[in-house]
Amino acid sequence: MYIIFEGIDTCGKSTQIELLKKRYNDAVFTHEPGGTVLGKQIREILLNGQLDSSRAEILLFLADRAEHFESIVKPNLCNTIISDRGFVSGMAYAMAGNDMGFDELLQLNLFSLQGVLPDKIILFVIDKESLMQRLGQKGMDKIELRGIEYLLNVQQFMADIVEKLRIPFIKINATDDIEIINRQIRNFIWEQK
């Protein structure tokens, strides 16, 4: 079972994944971008590089996704795979940049994923006030520096995308108690097969 955790930065995806790692040590845990050797190099370029072309940014994300799928996801499809981010994020950030539409981006991502989409999606959603507070407590990367409204727009695109995909998903209120969120996630992944 292939599961992706989606949401904008600071919404709690990584915290929940760390909790799951302690409980389910037989699952494969990974992340995008940067889950492979090539991915680490691409992530560095994306977060700290000087790209002039938003389409080049999209293509770098797609290259990372293709490498990630081939080297990590595909060999482990018989296991439970939990990825911190996936193609939904990639599509949402591209759509927020007004570069491409849903259908075109979906086709590019299907190419990168060799036609294999996740079995389940967990989408974290955060309100503006909480996002501002959490971002204020950390240094921001190049993408986060695009601003609160941009990030909230990306979040809305994520929600729209998961609605259109017809893949089982759950929306998580990122401001709920950590244990309540963890229980919701475990129930969704392992008890609703």
Check residue 173 and give its pLDDT: 97
Q: How far apart are the first and last CA of the chain?
A: 9
Structure tokens given for 62:
């797609």
pTM of the model: 0.90
Between CA 9 and CA 140 the distance in angstroms is: 10
Check residue 53 and give its pLDDT: 83
Check residue 131 and give its pLDDT: 85
Check residue 140 and give its pLDDT: 58
Check residue 181 and give its pLDDT: 97
> How much is the CA Rg of the chain, to the nearest whole Å?
16
Check residue 27 and give its pLDDT: 96
Check residue 81 and give its pLDDT: 97
Between CA 12 and CA 150 the distance in angstroms is: 19
Between CA 168 and CA 193 the distance in angstroms is: 10
Label the pairing between strands 169-173 and 2-6. Answer: unpaired
Check residue 43 and give its pLDDT: 82
**4: which strand partners?**
83, 121
Class of domain 2-190: alpha beta
Q: Which helix (H) or strand (E) holds 156?
A: helix 148-165
DSSP letter for each residue of 63-94: HHHHHHIIIIIGGGTTS-EEEES-HHHHHHHH
pLDDT per position in the chain (193 positions), as tens?
999 999 998 889 999 999 999 999 899 999 998 889 998 898 888 777 777 888 888 899 899 999 999 999 999 999 999 999 999 999 998 998 876 899 999 999 999 999 999 999 999 999 999 988 877 666 655 565 666 888 899 999 999 999 999 999 999 999 999 999 999 999 999 875 5
Please return the burial class of 108, using the count of CB atoms within 10 Å of its CB with bins 0-12, 13-18 and 19+: buried
> For the chain, what are the domain ranges?
2-190
On whether the CB atoms of residues 84 and 109 are closer than 8 A, the answer is no
